């Protein structure tokens, strides 16, 4: 992960690339703002980071009202509400101890003990830390949810407010609770399958703005009639390395 101090060049570049940092106004950043992101981040136009300093890979027409970890991956058309958290540090469950003292050499207490005893403690366990979550397309994460690591939240899923999500969530599943459990699917099985097969998020919202998306079945029917004449929306993403290099 890299961090850098935003300048007017960064702010203008984000605006030029249609990467937004405010829901309604053009920009909330100012010179001196610290930004965290990965060089490998891929951010599509019309992605919006409404709060915080973390920028992650995010698809078009998605937005977050919560601070984002740079390692999270977000697809298109996602809505992330206020106060959503992502589980951070991980501890080795299969080792003798779960204590960070056994493997984190950056901890001051570890370094003090090594200096006093004159004996370094080698790291003898494998890295068990799971990756940060992958959030697919058209996902709604409600306020105050806690999202675990090493999981995928499937396309069309809904995470109820306050849920603690520790396992992957199926496409179009609505989950709630602590731990989060499947409550129902947003639509019947056939419609969920058709929506996934259509991959409607390939297109930009203005391309189908005149279709009846209030009725998913009607929308799919209309999309099939039109999609042969529609070009998939494949914008050039902005890379984290481009921002860092400015």
| Beta-bridge mates of residue 80 | 64, 141
Q: Pick the catalytic residue: 22, 82, 91, 125?
A: 91
User: Which residues fall within 8 angstroms of residue 230, CB to CB, at 6 or more apart?
Assistant: 203, 207, 208
CB 81: neighbour CB atoms within 10 A? 17
Is 91 catalytic? The answer is yes
Q: Find, among 221, 83, 189, the residue nearest to 142 by Cα.
A: 83
Q: Find, among 164, 120, 118, the residue nearest to 145 by Cα.
A: 164
**Token digits of residue 228:** 């042969």
Q: Where are the beta strands (DSSP E) in the chain?
A: 2-5, 34-37, 42-43, 48-49, 57-58, 63-64, 73-74, 79-80, 85-86, 134-135, 140-141, 146-147, 152-153, 158-159, 164-165, 173-176, 181-185, 238-239
Cα 45 to Cα 36, 58, 63, 65, distances in angstroms: 19, 9, 11, 17
> Is residue 48 a contact partner of residue 63, using CB atoms and an 8 Å limit?
yes
CB 69: neighbour CB atoms within 10 A? 22
Residue positions annotated with a catalytic role: 91
């Amino acid at each position: 992960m890299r961090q850098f101090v935003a300048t007017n060049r960064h702010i203008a570049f984000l605006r030029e690339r249609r990467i937004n940092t405010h829901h309604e106004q053009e920009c909330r950043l100012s010179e001196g703002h610290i930004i965290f992101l990965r060089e490998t981040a891929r951010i599509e136009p019309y992605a919006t980071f409404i709060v915080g300093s973390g920028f992650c890979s995010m698809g078009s027409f998605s937005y977050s009202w919560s601070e984002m970890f740079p390692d999270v991956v977000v697809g298109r058309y996602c809505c992330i509400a206020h106060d959503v958290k992502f589980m951070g540090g991980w501890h080795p469950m299969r080792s003798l101890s779960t204590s960070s003292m056994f493997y984190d050499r950056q901890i001051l207490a570890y370094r003090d003990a090594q200096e006093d005893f004159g004996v370094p403690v080698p790291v003898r366990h494998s890295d068990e830390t799971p990756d940060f979550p992958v959030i697919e397309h058209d996902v709604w994460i409600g306020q105050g949810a806690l999202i675990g690591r090493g999981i995928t939240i499937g396309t069309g899923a809904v995470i109820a407010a306050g849920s603690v999500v520790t396992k992957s969530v199926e496409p179009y599943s609505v989950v709630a609770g602590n731990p989060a459990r499947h409550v129902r699917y947003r639509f019947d099985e056939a419609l969920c399958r058709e929506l996934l097969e259509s991959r409607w998020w390939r297109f930009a919202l203005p391309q189908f703005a005149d279709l009846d998306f209030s009725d998913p079945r009607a929308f799919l029917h209309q999309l099939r009639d039109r999609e042969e004449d529609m070009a998939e929306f494949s914008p050039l993403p902005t890379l984290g390395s481009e921002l860092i290099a400015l």
